[in-house]
Structure 1
């Protein structure tokens, strides 16, 4: 992979280090991490993080966005504080909360930092999963954390918290799902967007060998073909996006080691879908491939 000449020398050196020592497919697989469909995804994510940019991982459910975030955390040897977004998330969920404690016999009010404050103070990664599940009025609280200021006035203590060196934000988004809302432009503009597609072909085959109990190459090839057919079906609008989840496919692979493959596909993939026609479509594929 060629390193762009316009990058600062220090960034080029660090990127060269990651490319030559840790971001090869073999190294990622050995770490049990994310297997990228192409090396550019890893290179671009690392470059953005080295430049102090926030990255937004955008892609279908089960494509490996969280696993990719964990892999980046491992590559940078950075712990990662996480936020699982929902409609119930509020300032306390993000920043922390006050509680009563004792110093000797004296009762005192103590502030317990949340994931945002913890990541900022420790200079580590912050991962915000399904960021578009949070209510639109909640996330602007951390706008200052996500831009050049890298700071926030803690509303619970009135202290200004500035991020330590090493602090970075990785977020993930699933678009179009029930309960999600579009990110407003002010928030979206604070991220570098990286598309995370489903992996296919030989890379998926190696992922199955590495992360499931399957060892029979013939059976693994059938699951790779099933995955390709499911991804095409999603693109054609025949089934919901959940039906092509790589996470669900790996579950089916594990189950198939102990129960018939068609039943494994039913339990791990088909029965998760709401529509009878979608379930029937998937089971028809399973019957054809695993007859």
Structure 2
């Protein structure tokens, strides 16, 4: 029986600085949380910058980053690892959480509530004073590298009785609350990310704000910062603003004809 581990930290290192615009003291607070090896929970709406923030902090701290996009089909083995059979026999392959614990990476579980609760239980021993990961199938107890940190994110707007974190999980993390930036900051982000004039970015933000006012009144979520960047990038490539907004902001958000018309009316207000 052979063993395979993806144990090279360099392959998980972010080489170029990701653009991130701080909106408060979150950078300094995260640095302090990392210094104490506190597990961190990021809460906020879709596309507001949670993942970009983690990427930026990993780059700033010079630490490897392993990201896992959680889903309802994800099993504990998908996180910690499993035995595989190939032409040479049976071999063990570490999962992303195990790799991160071994090499001292930041492990980011994105939208963790999408995973089954019996799957998320495996993170518990890593998020208290023990900082260990039992590999029951392998009979090994992995002691987390001193640089290892666990970060999770989720969108409170999608919470339900069936999709929420157990209190026993929540109370293992320090919490950072994210939201869409103030209008002027969000416009600066869009202009920078998309390469468009600030005046155009400001109009896109105003459209987004109108959509966010519809949350709970026909929309589950308003237009995210991420979608605004997409629209700005299309405009930067020469796509007329109305068409760019239709493709990037309105059509992805709703299938309801009345809401679609309402959003397109907002687009018409700012882009004639």
TM range (shorter): 0.7 to 0.9
Distance 1:176 1:32 in 2: 27
Which digits, 9 at most, give the CA deviation of each residue in 1:20-71, with x for residues without a partner? xxxxxxxxxx933322222x12222221121111111100001011111111
Aligned to 1:288, which of 248, 269, 272?
269
Which digits, 9 at most, give the CA deviation of each residue in 1:240-274, with x for residues without a partner? 25332110011111112322211111111111123
Is residue 37–residue 149 contact of structure 2 (8 Å, CA) maintained in 1?
yes
Aligned to 1:143, which of 100, 121, 124?
124
SS at match of 2:129: coil
Aligned to 2:23, which of 34, 37, 49?
37
Q: 1:53 to 1:153 in 2, by over 3 A?
A: same
Distance 1:207 1:241 in 2: 24
SS at match of 2:251: helix
* RMSD over aligned Cα atoms: 2.0
Indicate yes or no: 2:69 matched with 1:90: no
Q: Which residue of 2 aligns with 1:22?
A: none
Indicate yes or no: 2:56 matched with 1:71: yes
Q: Which residue of 1 aligns with 2:11?
A: none
Is residue 37–residue 198 contact of structure 1 (8 Å, CA) maintained in 2?
no
Taking structure 2 as the reference length, what is the TM-score of the superposition? Answer: 0.87
Q: Which residue of 2 aligns with 1:201?
A: 183
1:125 is displaced (CA, Å) by 0.5
Distance 1:145 1:262 in 2: 49
SS at match of 2:221: helix
Is residue 42–residue 50 contact of structure 2 (8 Å, CA) maintained in 1?
yes
Taking structure 1 as the reference length, what is the TM-score of the superposition? Answer: 0.81
Aligned to 1:217, which of 198, 203, 208?
198
SS at match of 2:93: strand
Q: Which residue of 1 aligns with 2:173?
A: 191
Distance 1:187 1:151 in 2: 16
Gap regions ≥5 residues in structure 2: 1-15
Gap regions ≥5 residues in structure 1: 1-29
Number of residues paired by the alignment? 254
SS at match of 2:156: coil
Q: Which residue of 2 aligns with 1:231?
A: 212
Is residue 93–residue 114 contact of structure 1 (8 Å, CA) maintained in 2?
yes
